[in-house]
Structure 1
Amino acid sequence: MALASLLILLAFAGYAVLCAVRPFAPCRKCSGIGVRTRRRTVTLCRRCHGDRARLRLGRRLLNDSRSIHAAGTRSRTTDRKAPPWQ
């Protein structure tokens, strides 16, 4: 049981490092090409809009949690003469 928990923890840690180092992955719909060919027409991929990359799920969750935290915390005052309780 402890070994399985350790392996799951290592997998999550590895994915977190991967999301930090390489936040973008190739688009799954167009295989990272950026265009799709259908019936002799070449169109931009609708999922990635021709960017050829997508944001990983873990990085998207990290960005959302950062924005939620930033929206819910007070900003620090830049005036040094103001008392800390204001």
Structure 2
Amino acid sequence: MTPLIAAANGAGPGTPTLILLGLLAAVGYLIHCVIWPYRACRKCGGAGRFRSPSGRAWRYCNRCTGRGAQLRIGRRIWTRIKNNANHTRKHR
């Protein structure tokens, strides 16, 4: 059976399966962000510094302020969810 006919007949993966896979991928990414909250800075490649134009001195990366790492977006989401849950518990 050709792929077009199979797609027309609905023989492919169903919508619930795709939703479940998407949800599983999102949960997996959040777990990844809880375990490894930082990623290497894209601008400096994780070094945190660059050579100066003269080549004799170092200057710090402006994007990561010399740390070489940046907080992942998923970790920011996780922290916001956690803080929101703590905030609602305190004000009940």
Q: Taking structure 2 as the reference length, what is the TM-score of the superposition? A: 0.65
What secondary structure does 1:59 align onto?
helix
Q: Which shows bigger deviation, 59-68 or 49-58?
A: 59-68
Q: Are residues 1:54 and 2:70 paired?
A: yes
Shift of 1:38: 5.5
- 1:4-83 maps to which residues of 2 (within 5 A)? 4-37=18-51, 39-40=53-54, 42-74=58-90
CA gap 1:40/1:14 in 2 versus in 1, 3 angstroms: farther
Query: What whole-Å deviation, never above 9, does each CA across 1:19-55 have from its counterpart, x for those lacking one?
Result: 1111111111111110134533531011111111111
Q: Which runs of 5+ in 2 are unaligned?
A: 1-14
Higher helix fraction (1 or 2): 2
Larger radius of gyration: 2
Q: Secondary structure at the match of 2:81?
A: helix
Deviates more, 1:66-75 or 1:3-12: 66-75
* Distance verdict in 2 for CA 1:2–1:74, change over 3 Å: closer
CA contact (8 A) 2:33 2:75 kept: yes
Identity %: 33
Partner SS for 2:31: helix
Kindly tell me the number of residue pairs found equivalent between the two proteins.
75
Alpha-carbon RMSD across the aligned residues, in angstroms, is 2.1
Q: CA separation in 2, counterparts of 1:2 and 1:37?
A: 52
Structure 1: state its 5+ residue gaps.
76-86
Q: Which moved more, 1:40-49 or 1:15-24?
A: 40-49
